[in-house]
Structures are given as C-alpha cells and as structure tokens.
C-alpha cells in the first residue's frame, strides 16, 4: 500500500472532485489545477470517457496526484488502477471494492455515513474514510461524534463542502482533507474556463493554509 499517497492528500488538504470527459478535458483540467497550486484530482467515473481523462492526466501530468471517484465495483477498481489512478474513492463501504483496491495495493477511501459503515471499514482494514454526503450526514458535528468511539479513524468529508464551510471541517483533528467540486464545477469545464478553475483552486489552497493561530 502506497502510504505516501494518503500523506500527500493530508498535506494538500483539499481534493477537487472533478467531472471530466475525455483526454483533452482531463489534461487541461490537470494543467489548470497545477497552475492554481493544487496538484491533485479525484476524477469521477460519471461520464463515458472519464477513464480516458484519467489516463491522460496520469500520462501527461505526472506531478498531479490523480485518483478515481464514483468507483462502485471491483471491475472498476481494475479499470481505474490500470488507467493510472493512485487512489480510489467510493461513495459507500462495499467489501468487493475495498478488497480489490487492497489487492491492487492502492489506497481506498470508502464512503461512510454511519457508525456501522465505519465499523465495516475498520473490519476490512481501512482507517481513512470519506464522510459522504458530508453535509447531509451531519457535517462537522457528525465527524466529532464519530471520532469519540473511533479515535483512530481519519476522515475526508465530501459532499456539500465549499469555500464557506471548508474550515469547519479542516479544523477538526481527525480530518485529513476535504473533497469537493466547488472549484471545478462542470459548467466551468464545459465552458473551457480554465483560468477560473485555476483561480478557485488557488483561492481554496489559500483558504486551507493553516491560520497563524494554528
Ligand atoms: O460519487 C462519488 O464517489 C463522489 O465522489 C461524490 C462526490 O464526492 C460528491 O458528489 C462531491 O460533492 P459536491 O462537492 O457537493 O459536488
């Protein structure tokens, strides 16, 4: 297991969740994130050519830590790892996905929304999970409450995170990073507004930087 991937995510503090289609969009998106100082992307398997986007980022922008999101099956784990994904994110805690990611030696962040989900993840040997959908599952208060019985668990809240509430999550000691689409909204990609994506990425990086009191 490549522990350094989770360390890099923890250092970056933010994971842009992107919906891109095809090699060209993927490569340009990666360039825009690099320009914004945020060299990481979770490419969701939501569009038909998401895998081509993933492959292009992995091949053309090796400095960008690229992962795959919306991974729902073990077969998709194989597809995304073969395409170059360095980490795998799933909306739920599903044993076949977790097991295949472990077999492929790639970090898996399964989605959890309840204590039972966390217990299943722990039983499968996973201690870093994605709280999803974070805002619906209780937001920062849910993470605080879950951290009491599960102090060993680290969270990447995703779903409803934005520039306004980012710090409510990042300030919690059990949160390694927050994920979200707010800096890479799909209309910006389809419009080719890479400059705005870079601007929002840079803004998010500045927001996530520790404050002077930290
Ligand atoms: O399906 C998955 O595996 C996902 O990755 C879901 C995404 O994390 C959220 O949909 C992002 O939520 P927003 O930032 O509110 O847009």
Question: Within a domain: residue 182?
Answer: yes
pLDDT band at 1 (very low <50, low <70, confident <90, very high): very low
Give per-residue pLDDT as tens, 143-164.
Answer: 999 999 999 999 999 999 999 9
Say if 130 falls within a structural domain: yes
Total number of domains constituting the chain: 1
Distance, in Å, from the CA atom of 82 to the CA atom of 193, rounded to the nearest integer, reads: 30
Alpha carbons 104 and 127: distance in angstroms, whole number: 17
**Domain annotation covers residue 45:** yes
Residue 113 to residue 118: CA distance in whole angstroms: 8
25 is catalytic: no
The domain of 17 spans 3-208
> What is the rounded radius of gyration, in angstroms, for the C-alpha atoms of the chain?
16
Measured from CB, residues less than 6 Å from any atom of ligand 1 are 17, 44, 69-70, 89-91, 158-161, 179-182
* Structural domain includes residue 214: no
3-class SS of residue 39: coil
Which ipTM did the prediction report?
0.92
Express each pLDDT in 182-205 by its tens digit. 999 999 999 999 999 999 999 999
Residue 130 falls in the annotated catalytic set: yes
CB 16 within 8 A of CB 183: yes
Average pLDDT over residues 107-118: 98
Residue having the nearest C-alpha atom to atom 12 of ligand 1: 159
Ligand 1 atom closest to Cα of residue 158: 8
The two structure tokens encoding residue 14: 């933010």
Q: Is residue 188 part of a domain?
A: yes
Q: What is the CATH number of the domain that holds 26?
A: 3.20.20.70
| Position 108 in a domain | yes
The number of the ligand 1 atom at minimal distance from the alpha carbon of 44 is 5
What is the per-residue pLDDT for 210? Answer: 75
Determine which one of 25, 42, 144, 203 is catalytic: 42
Residue 213 lies in a domain: no
Question: Is 111 a domain residue?
Answer: yes
């Amino acid at each position: 297991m490549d522990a350094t991937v989770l360390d890099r995510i923890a250092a970056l503090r933010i994971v842009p969740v992107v919906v891109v289609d095809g090699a060209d969009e993927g490569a340009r998106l990666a360039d825009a994130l690099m320009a914004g100082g945020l060299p990481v992307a979770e490419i969701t398997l939501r569009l038909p050519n998401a895998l081509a986007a993933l492959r292009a980022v992995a091949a053309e922008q090796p400095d960008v830590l690229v992962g795959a999101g919306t991974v729902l099956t073990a077969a998709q784990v194989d597809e995304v790892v073969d395409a170059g994904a360095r980490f795998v994110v799933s909306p739920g805690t599903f044993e076949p996905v977790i097991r295949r990611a472990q077999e492929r030696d790639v970090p898996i962040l399964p989605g959890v929304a309840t204590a039972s989900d966390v217990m299943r993840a722990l039983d499968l040997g996973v201690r870093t999970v994605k709280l999803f959908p974070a805002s619906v599952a209780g937001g920062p208060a849910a993470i605080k409450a879950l951290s009491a019985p599960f102090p060993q668990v680290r969270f990447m809240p995703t779903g409803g995170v934005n520039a306004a509430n980012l710090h409510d999550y990042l300030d919690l000691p059990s949160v390694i990073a927050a994920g979200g689409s707010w800096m890479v909204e799909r209309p910006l990609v389809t419009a080719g507004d890479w400059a705005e994506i870079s601007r929002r990425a840079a803004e998010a990086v500045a927001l996530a930087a520790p404050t002077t009191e930290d």
